[in-house]
Amino acid sequence: MGHSAGGQLALCLAAHESAVRDVISLAGVLDLKKAFALHLSNDAVAEFLGGKPADVPEHYREADPMEIAVAQARQWIVVGKDDDVVPPELSREYVRAKKSAKENVELVEIAGAGHFELIDPGSQAFARVRETVTAAGAVPSTR
């Protein structure tokens, strides 16, 4: 499980490590080419990957969740509908593409939540995140 850039990294780990059975992305950057084009976080993608997609395409192929298969793991994509840091449409497009590829992926959209509410234990959105983590089997249920 990871948040924002960590959501991208969690999916990459699941793609490259066959032992991972469940992976959760919280407001993840799930399409690195689109994130680059949108200049998210002051061009953090180009800085992280060492250049533009045209300059280092192999870096994008290896690290972009949109381009790598996560065949063995259940994917839980959690996004706040009011996220103004990572546009929720990136998560929606990712889920559509992965479902078309027959990957096991679920989208959880949380109304009234932005980017950081997903990791704030005091927010209302955090209860939905906890439910998702429990459903994924990552923590025992408290019910």
CA atoms within 13 A on the CB side of 126: 7
Give the highest mean pLDDT range of 47-56, 78-87, 126-135: 78-87
Mean pLDDT of the chain: 93
Q: How many Å apart are CA 22 and CA 73, to the nearest integer?
A: 5
- pLDDT (tens digit, 9 = 90+) per residue, 64-103? 999 999 999 999 999 999 999 999 999 999 999 999 999 9
Phi, psi dihedrals of residue 110, rounded to the nearest 5°: -115, 115
Q: What is the H or E stretch that residue 129 is in? A: helix 125-135
Q: How many Å apart are CA 101 and CA 140, to the nearest integer?
A: 31
Phi, psi dihedrals of residue 141, rounded to the nearest 5°: -65, 145
Query: Is the overall model pTM greater than 0.85, yes or no?
Result: yes
